[in-house]
Amino acid sequence: MAFRNFIYIEDDNDLAFLPKEPSLGFDSGGSPKASVFVVYPGSVAAYIKEKKCKTRGGSSRPPVKRKLAFESSSSLVVHAKIYALRMMLLFFPYLMMMKAIEKMRGKANVIKARERSRKEECYQVTFSTLRLKVDSLEEKKARLEVIEASLHREVEELKQDRRDVVSKVVPYVSIELVHSDELGRLVGMLVSFAITYGRCRAYEQVATMKEHFDLSKAKGYRSSYKKEPNQASNDFATATFPWLDEFVADAATLTEALLLKKPPML
């Protein structure tokens, strides 16, 4: 017989005090009721007394089997409880650790979400600031382009005004200069400077001579005529300078051509 069947073995004698069939009613009579068992107190007391007598004199179930069944069932319960407690103690740290990990993971997710939202807010603020700066720089660039264009126009207008002024004023000044006595004064100064330069060159040549200066030995020297003592001064007065002929011959035309020339920057 299996141990489980031994524990749950049935004994019909233990249920002998129960009636086999439903009762038809009390002694006074009554209507029969189905599925109702009537147990009398006298029969229950007699059954208990009989069981006690059997236990003292001898039981239908051996006492060893009853004790073994009770101890076996109680030991199984104890072993099950011990095993459950051992498993709980074994896995309890892991369970607590898993709970702590889940809790920390939830906190980490919350912190990450906050950091992400904070970074997004900072990015939005920075992006908005940069966009405002770019817009302001674009406006400033547009203003500078307008100012540059206006300055270019002003420069072109000034150049045109300068051309007009030069084209109108310079010819008038050149004509006035030609028809005035200023040109004669300038030519006279030029001639006097040329004579002075020639004398300076002659003095330098005399200074570099090693022998005593003898005017009669100088090249081109001719003694003064006795009858005409002023002939030398007259020759000097009537002396001509070929390199001045091209300027003196048509001085007005040359001066006008010189003044009408426009500088390359205009």
Spell out the domain ranges in the chain. 3-89
H/E stretch holding 69 reads helix 63-178
Q: How confident is the model at residue 5 (pLDDT cuts 50, 70, 90)?
A: very low
E strand residue ranges, 131-266: none
Nearest to 187 by CA among 260, 250, 261: 250
3-class state of residue 28 by DSSP: coil
What is the rounded average pLDDT of the residues 243-256? 60
Nearest to 15 by CA among 58, 64, 60: 60
- Residue 219's pLDDT is 62
pTM of the model: 0.27
- Residue 189's pLDDT is 79
What is the rounded average pLDDT of the residues 78-87? 78
Nearest to 3 by CA among 54, 76, 59: 76
Q: pLDDT of 19-59, one tens digit each?
A: 444 444 444 444 444 444 444 455 555 665 665 555 444 44
112/105 Cα distance (integer angstroms): 10
Q: pLDDT of 149-171, one tens digit each?
A: 999 898 888 888 877 776 666 66
Nearest to 95 by CA among 107, 83, 87, 105: 87
**What tokens were used for 19?**
């009636």
- Residue 137's pLDDT is 92
* Cβ neighbours, 10 Å, residue 187: 14
Residues found in the chain? 266
